Chains A and B, each alone.
Chain A
Amino acid sequence: MRHTDIFDTQRRNLLRLGAFGSAYGLMAPFLGGFAAARESLADNRILVVLELSGGNDGLNTVVPFRNDAYYKLRPTIGLKKNDLRMIDAEYGLNSNMAGMVKLYKDGRMAIIHGVGYPQPSFSHFNSMAYWHTAEPNSGATFGWVGRLADVLLEKNAPYPIVNVDATQSLAVRSRRHVPVVFDDPARFVPKGAPFDVSESASDAAGNTSQAFLRDVARSAKEASVKVRDAWQNYKSPIDYGLVSLDLPKVASLIEARMPTRLYYTSFRNNAFDTHVQQGNLHSRLLTYFSDALYAFMQDMERIGRADDVMVLVFSEFGRRAAENSNRGTDHGTANVMFAVGKGIKGGHYGAPPDLTKLDETDNLIYTTDFRQVLASVIEDWLKCPNAQDVLNEKFEKIGVFG
Chain B
Amino acid sequence: MKSCQKLRIAVAAWILVAGHAALAAPARPATWSGDLTPIAASEWNERTAAHLLERAGFGGTPAEIAEFAKLGAVAAVRRLVHFEGVSEVALPPFDHSGVHDPGLEPFPPSRPATTNLASKNGKALGIKVKPSGNRRLQPVVNKFFYWLRASRLETDRVGYWWADRMLRSPRPLQEKIALFWHGHFAVNEDKVRDYRKHLQLLQIFHEHGLGNFRELLVATAKSPGMLSFLDAGVNVKGAPNENFAREIMELFTLGVGHYTEHDIREAARAFTGWNYKDLGFVINELQHDTADKTVLGRTGNFSGEDIVDILLEKPADEFIAAKLYRYFVHDDPSRETVSKLAEVLRSNDFRIAALMETIFLSRDFYSAESVGTIIKSPVQLAVSTYRKLELDRVPGVPDFNTATATLGQHLFNAPTVAGWAQGRAWITPGLLIARKNFAYDLMFPDINFIPSDRYPDDPLIRSVSKRLEDGANISNATKPPGVEDIENMSMANLMADMDQDFNTRYGSYRGWQMALEKVKPIPRYTAGFDLAGIVARERLTTVESIVDHFFKRLLSVPASSAQRAQLLEVLRTELGTDDIEAARSYVEDALRVLVHRIMSLPEYQLG
Among the listed stretches A83-91, A150-158, A347-355, which one makes contact with chain B, having 4 or more residues with CB under 8 Å of it? A150-158
- Interface residue B112 (Cβ < 8 Å from any Cβ of A): yes
Q: Which residues of B contact A173 (CB under 8 A)?
A: 421, 425
A210 contacts B603, C-beta separation under 8 Å:
yes
User: Do residues B256 and A199 form an inter-chain contact, with CB atoms below 8 A?
Assistant: no
Q: Are B18 and A14 in contact (CB under 8 A)?
A: yes
| Residue among A6, A140, A216, A281 with max Cβ neighbours from chain B (10 Å) | A216
Choose the segment among A28-36, A58-66, A182-190, A300-308 that binds chain B (4+ C-beta atoms closer than 8 Å): A182-190
Does B291 lie at the interface of the complex (its beta carbon under 8 Å from any beta carbon of A)?
no
For window 475-507 of B, CB contacts with A under 8 Å fall at 480, 482-483, 486, 493, 496, 500-501, 504
- Known contacts being A125-B188, A216-B602, A325-B116, is A13 close to B493, with CB within 8 Å? no
Instruction: Select from chain A the residue with minimum beta-carbon distance to B425.
Output: A173
Q: A216-B602, A275-B110, A284-B482 are in contact. Are A198 and B1 (CB under 8 A)?
A: no
Residues of A within 8 A of B423 (CB): 209
Which of B115, B231, B417, B430 is the one whose CB lies under 8 Å from A182?
Answer: B430
Residues of chain A within 8 A of B500, CB atoms compared: 277
Q: Is the interface of A mostly helix, strand, loop or mixed?
A: loop
- In the bound assembly, the distance between CA atoms of A120 and B252 in angstroms comes to 23
Interface centre among A6, A125, A138, A220 (most CB of B within 10 A): A220
In the complex, A385 Cα to B6 Cα: how many Å?
Answer: 13
* Set of chain A residues within 8 Å of B431, measured between Cβ atoms: 168, 181
B552 within 8 A of A: no
Say yes or no for B15: interface residue by CB 8 A criterion: yes
Separation in Å of the A271 CB from the closest CB of chain B? 11
The stretch of B42-50, B99-107, B303-311, B435-443 in contact with A is B435-443
Contact segment of B214-222, B243-251, B270-278: B243-251
Tell me the complex Cα distance, A212–B557, Å: 14
CB <8 Å contact, A137 and B430: no
Q: Mark A370-402, 1 if CB is under 8 A from B, else 0.
A: 000000000000011100000000000000000
With an 8 A cutoff between CB atoms, is B424 at the interface? yes
What distance in Å separates the Cβ of A55 from its nearest Cβ neighbour in chain B? 12
The answer to whether A13 and B11 have CB atoms under 8 Å apart is yes
Q: Least Cβ distance of A246 to chain B in Å?
A: 14
**CB proximity of A253 to chain B, nearest CB, Å:** 13
- A75 CB within 8 Å of chain B: no
Task: Name the interface residues of B1-59: CB closer than 8 Å to any CB of A.
Answer: 1-4, 6-8, 10-11, 14-15, 18-19, 21-23, 25-27
Closest CB in chain A relative to B120 CB, distance in Å: 11
A280 to B114, CA, bound (A): 23
Other-chain contact of B112, A188, A209, A330 (Cβ < 8 Å): A330
A22 within 8 A of B: no
- B427 interface residue (CB < 8 Å to A): yes
Within the complex, which residue of B373, B566, B597 is in contact with A208, where a contact is CB–CB below 8 Å? B373
> Judging by beta carbons under 8 Å apart, are B2 and A180 in contact?
no
Q: Mark A236-280, 1 if CB is under 8 A from B, else 0.
A: 000000100000000000000000000000000000000111001
Chain B residues within 8 Å of A189, by CB: 433
Task: Assess A178 versus B427: contact at CB under 8 Å? Given A10-B11, A155-B11, A192-B444.
Answer: yes
Q: Complex: how many Å from CA A326 to CA B429?
A: 45
A24 interfacial contact with B, CB 8 Å = no
Q: How far is the CA of A141 from the CA of B418 in the complex (A)?
A: 7
Q: Which of B188, B256, B440, B563 contacts A191 (CB 8 A)?
A: B440
* A206 touching B27, Cβ below 8 Å: yes
Q: Mark B352-395 against chain A: 1 for CB-CB distance below 8 A, else 0.
A: 00000000000000001000111100000000000000000000
Q: How far is the CA of A139 from the CA of B423 in the complex (A)?
A: 18
Interchain nearest-CB distance for B578 vs A (Å): 21
Q: A1-B1, A190-B433, A216-B428 are known contacts. Are A139 and B416 too (CB-CB below 8 A)?
A: yes
Chain A interface, number of residues (Cβ within 8 angstroms)? 78
Q: Are A384 and B1 in contact (CB under 8 A)?
A: yes
Instruction: Determine whether the beta carbon of B493 is less than 8 Å from that of A139.
Output: no
B286 interface residue (CB < 8 Å to A): no
Query: If the complex has contacts A13-B14, A197-B597, A326-B112, are A213 and B7 also in contact, measured as CB distance less than 8 A?
Result: no
Q: How far is the CA of A210 from the CA of B601 in the complex (A)?
A: 10
Q: Which residues of B contact A155 (CB under 8 A)?
A: 8, 11
Interface residues of B in 89-130 (CB under 8 A from A): 110-112, 115-116, 119
Of chain A, the residue at the smallest CB distance from B562 is A198
With the chains together, A127 CA to B229 CA distance in Å?
14
Most chain B CB neighbours (cut-off 10 Å) among A19, A20, A284: A19
User: Chain A residues with Cβ under 8 A from B250's Cβ?
Assistant: 138-139
Do B562 and A213 touch (CB < 8 A)?
Answer: no
Interface status of A358 (Cβ within 8 A of chain B):
no
| Known contacts A167-B405, A199-B563, A188 near B2 by CB under 8 Å | no
Tell me if A324 counts as interface (CB < 8 A to partner B): yes
A198-B424 in contact given A18-B22, A224-B433 (Cβ < 8 Å): no
Do residues A203 and B560 form an inter-chain contact, with CB atoms below 8 A? yes
* Contact, CB under 8 Å: A220 / B11: no
Chain B residues within 8 Å of A123, by CB:
191, 231
Least CB separation from B497: chain A residue: A277
Q: Which residues of A, 206-225, contact B by the 8 Å Cβ criterion?
A: 206-210, 212-214, 216-217, 219-220, 223-224
Q: Does A1 contact B4, Cβ atoms closer than 8 Å? A: yes
Contact B7 A154 (CB under 8 A): yes
CA distance A223 to B3 in the complex (A): 27
Interface residues of A in 134-154 (CB under 8 A from B): 137-142, 151-152, 154
| B91 CB → nearest A CB, Å | 30
- Please tell me if the beta carbons of A213 and B375 are within 8 angstroms of each other in the complex: yes
> A180–B472 Cα gap in the complex (Å)?
43
- Indicate whether B453 reaches chain A with its CB closer than 8 angstroms: no
Instruction: Please determine whether A138 and B424 come into contact, CB atoms closer than 8 angstroms.
Output: no
Q: Is the CB of A206 within 8 A of B23?
A: yes
Asked if residues A216 and B18 are in contact (CB atoms below 8 Å), the reply is no
Q: Which residues of A contact B256 (CB under 8 A)?
A: 138
**Distance from A212 Cβ to chain B, minimum over Cβ atoms (Å):** 6
Q: A195-B597, A220-B430 are in contact. Are A13 and B18 (CB under 8 A)?
A: yes
| Cβ-defined contact, A191 with B429, below 8 A | no
Give CA–CA (A242, B485) in the complex, Å: 14
Please indicate which of the listed interface residues B15, B250, B567, B597 has the most CB atoms of chain A within 10 Å of its own CB: B15
Checking B6, B10, B18, B602 against A17 with a beta-carbon cut-off of 8 angstroms, the contacting residue is B18
- In the assembled complex, how far is the CB of residue A58 from the closest CB belonging to chain B, in whole angstroms? 19
B600 within 8 A of A: yes
Contact B1 A188 (CB under 8 A): no
Chain B residue numbers with a CB within 8 Å of A192 are: 440, 444, 596
Q: How far is the CB of A325 from chain B (nearest CB, A)?
A: 7
Which residue from chain B places its CB closest to the CB of A217 in the assembled complex? B602
B112 touches A5 (CB 8 A): no
Given A138-B250, A192-B596: 16 more A-B contacts, CB < 8 Å? A1-B7, A5-B7, A6-B11, A17-B21, A19-B22, A125-B188, A168-B430, A180-B429, A197-B567, A197-B601, A207-B373, A207-B557, A208-B373, A209-B374, A281-B480, A385-B2
Q: Which residues of A contact B (CB under 8 A)?
A: 1, 5-6, 9-10, 13-14, 17-20, 119, 123-126, 129, 137-142, 151-152, 154-155, 166-168, 170, 173, 178-182, 188-192, 195, 197-200, 203, 205-210, 212-214, 216-217, 219-220, 223-224, 242, 275-277, 280-281, 284, 324-326, 328, 330, 383-385
Nearest first, the 6 A-B pairs at minimum CB distance are: A220-B429, A213-B602, A139-B418, A17-B22, A191-B440, A181-B430
A-binding residues in B (CB < 8 A): 1-4, 6-8, 10-11, 14-15, 18-19, 21-23, 25-27, 110-112, 115-116, 119, 188, 190-191, 231, 242-243, 246-247, 250-251, 256, 368, 372-375, 405-406, 408, 415-418, 421, 423-425, 427-433, 436-437, 440-441, 444, 480, 482-483, 486, 493, 496, 500-501, 504, 557, 560, 562-563, 566-567, 570, 596-597, 600-603, 605-606
User: What are 22 contact pairs spanning A and B, CB under 8 A?
Assistant: A10-B11, A14-B18, A17-B22, A119-B242, A124-B190, A129-B415, A138-B246, A138-B250, A139-B418, A170-B416, A188-B430, A188-B433, A190-B440, A191-B437, A197-B567, A209-B373, A209-B375, A210-B372, A212-B427, A277-B496, A281-B480, A284-B480
